Amino acid sequence: MVILIRGLCAVAAAATASLLAVMAIDATVTIFSSWPRWVLTFSAVAATAVAAVWFLARPLARSFTMAGIARAIEARHPELQERISSAVELMSSNESEEFRGSRVLIDALVQEACRDVSAVAPRREVTLRSVRPFFYSAVAFIVVLAGLLVLWPRTTSFLLERAVAPYMNLANVQAADMKIRAYAVGQEGEATSGDLVVQEGQRIAVEVEVSNRRVNNVEFRIAGDTRESVQDMRAVEGGSASVKRFSFTYPGAAEPALSKSFRYRIRGGDAISQYFSVMVVPARRFPRWT
């Protein structure tokens, strides 16, 4: 029971601490690609697995012999002078009597060992004292995570989701400073938060409002097979004193209009949005009336 409780507390502490570390790194470091998120998540899983093997599976797989238990008791009670372990080893030995020694002496040793054992209380020898450091560590890390969820529920739950699900298409936490509006050129009234379905031959316009006044450059990043193509968005006058506005039209007036679907995301300073999809569908064909 002691080994089980201690191991579970160690695993809980390792798992919570690893998650907090991943969340802290994600909140302070700008991550562009998905593979660093996978590395962070797998590192947290690996740390938890190591704790489970070292503090739970390994101790539970250990075999406890009578002689080993006797030696463990005598380590805490040197006044027993190894009488218990000697009696156990002699009684369990398969050697002949001439090698073990006199039967009378062995019986006398066993009687003394029995008197010694009668004064040993198992619950006093095997206590939960060794569990306390692991229990306190687990409680401390869990309290920190719970406190963050209470004080900053939206940000903490978002970072937690990014930590446990690196495969999800999510913005980073700094992207809360950006507000994105996208629409097909000429259809401003049908703006969306980023994803679009447009007809072949149209162009799209993207407008971004950034509440971080230190951001002076916003990028329109189109996903490619191996790397992203990056184009700067144009700063737009207007807005409040605390908000900067940027706009971008894709493709430009000198470029061919859209002919295939693509994905894009927006970067402004340390803020990186999720990937948005632009689906290009064939233009509608209308029948000719004569």
> What are the pLDDT digits (tens) for 16-26?
999 999 999 99
Ramachandran region, residue 201 (left: φ > 0; alpha: ψ -120 to 50; beta: rest): left
pLDDT attached to residue 16: 98
- Using a pLDDT cut of 70, give the percent of the chain over it: 94
Structure tokens at 19: 């998650």
Per-residue pLDDT band for 31 (boundaries 50, 70, 90) equals very high
Domain 173-281 CATH (choose: 2.60.40.10, 2.40.30.170, 2.40.30.110, 2.40.50.140): 2.60.40.10
What pLDDT is attached to residue 282?
87
pLDDT surpasses 60 at 187: yes
pLDDT tops 60 at residue 290: no
* Mean pLDDT, the chain, whole residue set: 88
| pLDDT at site 76 | 76
Section 233-251 average pLDDT:
88
With 50 as the cut, is the pLDDT of residue 286 above it?
Answer: no
| Upper half-sphere CA count for residue 169 (Cβ side, 13 Å) | 8
Q: Compare 16 and 61 and report the one with higher pLDDT.
A: 16
CA dist 105 to 99, 110, 112, 222, Å? Answer: 13, 9, 11, 89
Confidence (pLDDT) at 101: 67
pTM greater than 0.85: no
Mean pLDDT, residues 163-177: 94
Domain residue spans of the chain:
2-62+128-164, 78-119, 173-281
What is the mean predicted confidence (pLDDT) over 101-121? 77
